[in-house]
Amino acid sequence: MKSTITQSRSIRSYFSGFQTSARFVRGVDLAGQWAAPILIVAVLIMAAIFAPAFYLPTNLKTVGIQIAVLGIVAVGQTLVLLVRSIDLSVSAVLALGAVIVVQTEAGGPLWISFVEAFAVAAAVGLANGLLITKRQVPPFVATFGMLVFVQGARLAYTKGQASGTVPEILRAISFEQVGPIPAALIVWLIVNIIVLFILQKTRYGRWIYAVGGNPAAARYAGIPVDLVIIGVHTICSMLAMLGGLLLSGYIGYVDLRLGADYNTNSIAGAIVGGTTFTGGRGNLFGTAAGAALLIMLLNLVVVLGLPIHWQYAVQGIVLVMAVALQGFRQFLLSR
Amino acid sequence: MAVTFEKTREAKSFYSGRWLKFLRDNASIILIYTIILLVIGIAAVFNENFRSPSNLVNIFRQSIILGLIAIGQSVVALTGGLDMSVAQVARIVGLTVATIFAAEGSNPDLIIPLIFLGLLIGMAIGLFNGIIITRTHANPFIITLGIASILRGINLAISSTPIRGIPKAYLLIYDFKIGIIPVNVLVMALIWVIAYIFTTRTRTGRAFFAVGGSERVARLSAISYNRTLVVAHTFCSVCAALTGLFLLARTGVGDPSAAEGMDFQSIVAVALGGISLYGGRGSMIGTLGGVLLLATLSNVFNLLQVNIYYQQLFLGLIVLITVAAYKSPRAA
Amino acid sequence: MTNVSNNVPSDTVILSLKHIEKSFGGIHALSDVSFDLRAGEIHALVGENGAGKSTLIKIVTGAYTPDAGEIQINGSVYKSLDPTQARNLGIAAVYQEFNLLPELSVAENISLGAQPLGRFRLIDKKARSALAYELLERLGAHTHIDPDEVVKRLTVGEQQLVEIAKALAINARILIMDEPSAILPSRDLDRLFTVIRNLRDEGRGIIYISHRLNEIFELADRVTVLKDGQTMATKNVADTNHAELVSLMVGRPLTDMYPPKDNTPGEILLEVRDLCVEGTVYHVNFNVRAGEVVGLAGLGGSGRTTVCRALVALADVRSGEIIYRGKPAPRSPAAAAQAGLVLVPEDRKTYGLVLNQSMRFNLSLPNLSQFSLMGILHSAKEKGTIYKIIKNLQIKPPVPDISTENLSGGNQQKVVVGKWLLANPKLVIFDEPTRGIDVGAKAEIYMRIRELTRQGVGVIMASSELPELIGMCDRILVFYEGRLSGEIPREQFSEEAIMRLATGVKVNEE
């Protein structure tokens, strides 16, 4: 085992064909970690010069709520990426949650709808985790299959009709303000604090970094690797559900295309913030910055009066550049 | 690692005859074609409209779009990647060609040059995908997901409403028939044969298998990893471009929602057909089976007037079952 | 056994290595190796684990660049080779881990990268199969290997022959075989030997690496012994014997880095009865007492490491019993650690450390329950304990938050040892505890082991470094091909005695 690893690595470095200095590697590493915060500052300055409308209170509120929603989904995505997995079903879960709550609003107590919503999300996450650990399905295939399935289930359930108004409570935790701050931002902050606490101050958090950093060493250290991965997927789906509830509270109605971009954007947010696909590297601060950067760029498209579809181009460019940068960074670091 | 390959003598003697060996080596392909025959058989018994010759021809014609995309997707899957940008590539080609037709007053002389232009666009996008993936060592799936998003923005910038003004002659690509058999079905059959030969009988085609099977072994055998991956992605995007050109002839307008969902469906077809999404294993015959199964099912559902949303749910179920039946080659 | 070959090699030297040096991270893997290979000879390369055999092979096949020395092939001189160049010069290697694509056919694997083309520049399948058939025929394997069979359906022995056929396909003049017999069932051995002899008789040069001295006397014409990265001697097989080779492989002066033994063993801690692990370990029995150091010796693939893993539930036990402190041993690594039964694994970078994380992270990883209440960590308590162990083991630099990838090998190893000492173990299994670390760090780890036994902890020490086993152990169990081939009490310790058992010199074949 050992000899093959060293052998393949030496062959790899031979074929990659160029010599790199330590300073170059360090530079790429730092760029990977600090790209998002630096770019945020740059964007804020550019906005002040070219698009002062960005700073209008109503716009800032919109941006704030959108950052909160994407930020929450991206926290889940970060956790999943930390254990070398990925979740492409977040957009479906997000949309599903909004639908469930809105549809069951008609009859029965509200809290049951909420319990149902989070139970469904947990079930989806659990299924993702089981497919990945127990059946060794590659994560993107498993969660992609789940995406198609959950989307189908949602359409079959709603018969494709976008319907319903959103319960007051969702407006309250999303659109209403606490002082000058939209409630959604506070929810986002709370989620970040809780997950940060889990990652930094609990045994489970250590396990997540260990499983992502070196699964074999984690197993030798007696860590239940499969359980960690399943747990992280369950958390990720439930955070996507929370994001969906906040989003529908903000928009005020539920429509079919709700949340479609959250796969791309949550991955982009996490990756821009310094999380890598190879696991064990990444943190919530970076993810928060990545989500904020992405939303600000998307918002600038609107503020600058550009056609709305350029948002797609922006999120695509951010994703490609971030993935390319992190892929290259990881490649250099692991040589 | 070597132990994983090991098979005991007992297991070998179980498959002694030549035809048993054939069954064993092609189990997944035989399974999918059996399912197709079952579906066709059941539908033909219970539904009159289904068994009409024109409907059966129709199934083949409907399968062309998914088929073209799936050929390209298969090649990328064989190398161990997936291309999430195929639907957007098909769309951008359709929209660009339609826009130029509309601007030039439906000039039929432009048909040939514009077909070449469409293919060139596909080739350029595929090259770009391949080069980014090999240069940055990034995940092909995510890179192409990002590229898809960029292309979606560009597509909406080109037009968000259908573009009219396609010359009549161009529509013959879809409509021209000999008897009841559309010529495009015959052409498609030929394309499948070529795709099969390409992946089984050319050095480039076999390189996909080598690279997908083991990057290290491929490199030790002097097969260029980077070149093979770039070729695979370029090939895939060119297939998607062909799909875009064909869709344009079918709908007769440049459709800004053309090929919707085709990236999903092509992956489903590829996985159903038994190509390992880890790369290195599978065949075009399997993918053809996956495509035909999906086309047959969709035809049956439409005849039975099953709600489109239940169709979606059913597709989701198929995907989930395929995925759950998945067995990693790396698992003990 | 000593049916010495009557082959007369030619005098044409086809490969010659002169004063090759190679080091990794300041540690010399090869310090001065010279070696030459003639056309038409089987040249065996022997040496203990870590003597530098694989490094040497990788230099010849172009995977590594030597730091100094030169390589002469067919009269041309090279400073270093790259893999393509080596291939074009007719150098091929058959490793224990095959470079085959399991999903493709035998014929395709053999001509991969240079498949024969026929009409329309399409691959000529017939020609491809014919070529494979012809090559297999030269190996005498055409009767039982179908060129069109998928490689994954072949046995290991058959796959090995396909690898050799691949080497013939590029017309390799220099064929390197890295422990080809280690992965073969004994019934396939004769066939392999015939194949190798035939290749030699065609005038090829063959470098044959093996731990089994019997094979060398049966097969090879000359033998070169490596030790600690240096060439000890090159001999004609006819002019040497087992005893001489063994003493060349191991002969080195004992140093006084081993602290003296100062306690007597107590009650039985661990009892292993008839332990079997699928495909690797067969019917192993032994026990370990409190305060005792039991050595496990054996060459790579002898089942030594698997036994270590099985004791802490990291390998699936097929049959047999493991009794730990009077009860069946826990069946998960976490439960085993809880009960004080821990494994300090080999290869710290693969199994021991999460490299991109801090020293503190790694030290506390298996011990988090000590510092946590209901899963929440008590940082002050953690820091205190970590600081103590860092000081105690003298890990340098004593900075808990330094990333472990920035530590030296010796300090990394101390972190791995430290994280298991924190678990308050009753029985510690060390697998290769001093591989690749400097002398000072070695001595400290030996001290630590003595200290443990003084506290009544039982120690199992699996190692391929014989001097350290001899210096540290109360008794040594030797493994050969998955079985316990013998137990040596302290008063009979000698490297020769261990090597004899480990190379299967005096072993009942069944």
Instruction: Say how far apart CA B311 and CA B298 lie, in whole Å.
Output: 8
Q: Which residues, 6+ apart, have CB-to-CB distance to C181 below 8 Å? A: C189, C192, C210, C212, C215
The chain A residue lying nearest B155, using CA atoms, is: A309
**Pairwise pLDDT comparison (C142 vs C27), residue with the higher score:** C142
Instruction: Say how far apart CA C206 and CA C203 lie, in whole Å.
Output: 9
Q: Of the spans A2-6, A207-211, C227-231, C393-397, which averages the highest pLDDT?
A: A207-211
C119 touches chain B (CB under 8 A): no
- SS3 sequence, chain B? CHHHHCCCHHHHHHCCCHHHHHHHHCHHHHHHHHHHHHHHHHHHHHCCCCCCHHHHHHHHHHHHHHHHHHHHHHHHHHCCCCCCCHHHHHHHHHHHHHHHHHHCCCCHHHHHHHHHHHHHHHHHHHHHHHHHHHHHCCCHHHHHHHHHHHHHHHHHHHCCCCECCCCHHHHHHHHCEECCEEHHHHHHHHHHHHHHHHHHHCHHHHHHHHHHHCHHHHHHCCCCHHHHHHHHHHHHHHHHHHHHHHHHHHHCCECCCCCCCHHHHHHHHHHHCCCCCCCCCCCHHHHHHHHHHHHHHHHHHHHCCCCHHHHHHHHHHHHHHHHHCCCCCCCC
pLDDT at C101 (0 to 100): 92
Residues in a beta bridge with C236: C222
pLDDT at A108 (0 to 100): 67
Instruction: Say how far apart CA A13 and CA A5 lie, in whole Å.
Output: 12
Instruction: Say how far apart CA B273 and CA C359 lie, in whole Å.
Output: 48
Residues in a beta bridge with C487: C477
**CB atoms inside a 10 Å sphere around CB C48:** 21
CA B119 to chain centre: 16
Interface contact A316-B146, CB threshold 8 A: yes
Q: Which residues, 6+ apart, have CB-to-CB distance to C439 below 8 Å? A: C257
**Pairwise pLDDT comparison (C1 vs B78), residue with the higher score:** B78
Interface contact B150-A144, CB threshold 8 A: no
Q: Are B269 and A148 in contact (CB under 8 A)?
A: no
pLDDT at A327 (0 to 100): 83
pLDDT at A13 over 50: no
B62-121 residues touching A, CB cutoff 8 A: 82
pLDDT at C171 (0 to 100): 87
Segment B97-122 mean pLDDT: 93
CA distance A220 to chain C (A): 6
Query: Which residue has 């254990």 as its token pair?
Result: A83
3-state secondary structure of C108: helix
Q: Of A321, A260, A277, give the one whose Cα is nearest residue A80.
A: A277
pLDDT at B329 over 70: no
Interface contact B7-C152, CB threshold 8 A: yes
The two structure tokens encoding residue B1: 């690692």
Q: ipTM of this model?
A: 0.83
pLDDT at B331 over 50: no
pLDDT at C496 over 70: yes
The two structure tokens encoding residue A268: 């982009």
| Host H or E run for residue C295 | strand C293-297
Q: Are C181 and C100 in contact (CB under 8 A)?
A: no
**What proportion of chain B, given as a percentage, has pLDDT over 70?**
93
| Host H or E run for residue A144 | helix A139-158
Instruction: Say how far apart CA C411 and CA C441 lie, in whole Å.
Output: 7
Instruction: Say how far apart CA C128 and CA C111 lie, in whole Å.
Output: 7
Instruction: Say how far apart CA C142 and CA C136 lie, in whole Å.
Output: 5
pLDDT at A8 (0 to 100): 36
Tell me the CATH number for domain C13-250. 3.40.50.300
Class for the domain spanning A33-41+53-326: mainly alpha
Q: Please provide the average confidence, as pLDDT, over all residues in chain C.
A: 87
pLDDT at B328 over 60: no
The two structure tokens encoding residue B11: 């297991």
Interface contact A220-C351, CB threshold 8 A: yes
Which amino acid, residue A325? L
pLDDT at A5 over 60: no
CA distance A168 to chain B (A): 30
Instruction: Say how far apart CA A118 and CA B282 lie, in whole Å.
Output: 39
In this complex, which of A136, A316, A325 lies closest to B153 when CB atoms are compared? Answer: A316
Interface contact B323-A131, CB threshold 8 A: yes
In this complex, which of C84, C104, C183 lies closest to B213 when CB atoms are compared? Answer: C104
pLDDT at A206 (0 to 100): 95
* Domains C13-250 and C268-502 fall in the same CATH topology: yes
CA distance B209 to chain C (A): 8
Spell out which residues of chain C touch residue B18, defining contact as CB-CB under 8 Å: none
Interface contact A324-B310, CB threshold 8 A: no
C379 touches chain A (CB under 8 A): yes
Domain residue spans of chain A: 33-41+53-326
Query: A224-275: per-residue pLDDT in tens?
Result: 999 999 999 999 999 999 999 898 888 877 666 667 789 889 999 999 988 8
CA-CA distances (angstroms) from residue C75 to C17, C70, C71, C182, C202? 12, 12, 10, 33, 20
Spell out which residues of chain C touch residue A1, defining contact as CB-CB under 8 Å: 347, 350
Q: Of the spans B226-230, B315-319, C91-95, which averages the highest pLDDT?
A: B226-230
pLDDT at A105 (0 to 100): 63
Give the chains touching A; criterion: ≥3 Cβ pairs < 8 Å.
B, C
CA distance B120 to chain A (A): 21
Q: Are C484 and C478 in contact (CB under 8 A)?
A: yes
At residue B17 the predicted structure's pLDDT band, cuts being 50, 70 and 90, is low
Instruction: Say how far apart CA B287 and CA B32 lie, in whole Å.
Output: 10
Query: C135-194: per-residue pLDDT in tens?
Result: 999 888 888 899 998 998 888 888 999 999 999 888 899 999 988 887 777 678 888 999
Instruction: Say how far apart CA A240 and CA A89 lie, in whole Å.
Output: 9
Query: C385-404: per-residue pLDDT in tens?
Result: 999 999 988 888 888 998 89
Give the chains touching B; criterion: ≥3 Cβ pairs < 8 Å.
A, C
> b/e map of C215-240 (b: 16 or more CB within 10 Å)?
bbbbbbbbbbbbbebbbbeebebeeb
Q: Of C410, C407, C487, give the one whose Cα is nearest residue C442.
A: C410
pLDDT at C230 over 50: yes
Q: What is the largest CA-CA distance in chain B?
A: 71
pLDDT at C13 over 50: yes
pLDDT at C347 over 90: no
pLDDT at B4 (0 to 100): 34
In this complex, which of A202, A206, A217 lies closest to C353 when CB atoms are compared? Answer: A217
Which amino acid, residue B283? S
A22 touches chain C (CB under 8 A): no
Which amino acid, residue A329? R
> b/e map of A1-10 (b: 16 or more CB within 10 Å)?
eebeebbeeb
Query: A144-196: per-residue pLDDT in tens?
Result: 889 888 988 888 887 766 566 777 777 788 778 887 888 999 999 999 999 99
3-state secondary structure of C357: coil
Instruction: Say how far apart CA A121 and CA A117 lie, in whole Å.
Output: 6
C237 touches chain B (CB under 8 A): no
**Range name among B243-257, C137-151, C275-289, C436-450 with the lowest pLDDT average:** C436-450
3-state secondary structure of A7: helix
Instruction: Say how far apart CA C275 and CA C285 lie, in whole Å.
Output: 7
The CATH number of C268-502, from 3.40.50.720, 3.40.50.1820, 3.40.50.300, 2.40.30.170, is 3.40.50.300
Q: Of the spans B224-233, C70-79, C180-189, C428-437, which averages the highest pLDDT?
A: B224-233
- SS3 sequence, C6-75? CCCCCCCEEEEEEEEEEEECCEEEEEEEEEEEECCEEEEEECCCCCCHHHHHHHHCCCCCCCEEEEEECC
Instruction: Say how far apart CA C236 and CA C245 lie, in whole Å.
Output: 11
Segment B208-219 mean pLDDT: 90
CA distance A329 to chain B (A): 9
pLDDT at B138 (0 to 100): 84
Interface contact A209-C354, CB threshold 8 A: yes
Q: Are B248 and B166 in contact (CB under 8 A)?
A: yes
pLDDT at B293 (0 to 100): 93
The two structure tokens encoding residue B84: 């999430």
Q: Of C228, C223, C261, C252, give the one whose Cα is nearest residue C240.
A: C223
Q: Are C166 and C107 in contact (CB under 8 A)?
A: no
> b/e map of C166-199 (b: 16 or more CB within 10 Å)?
bbbbbebbbbbbbbbbbbbeeebbebbbebbeeb
pLDDT at B139 (0 to 100): 85
pLDDT at B14 (0 to 100): 42
CA distance A218 to chain C (A): 8
pLDDT at A164 (0 to 100): 67
A18 touches chain C (CB under 8 A): no
CA distance B270 to chain C (A): 17
Domain residue spans of chain C: 13-250, 268-502
**Range name among B13-27, B91-105, C192-206 with the lowest pLDDT average:** B13-27
At residue A20 the predicted structure's pLDDT band, cuts being 50, 70 and 90, is low
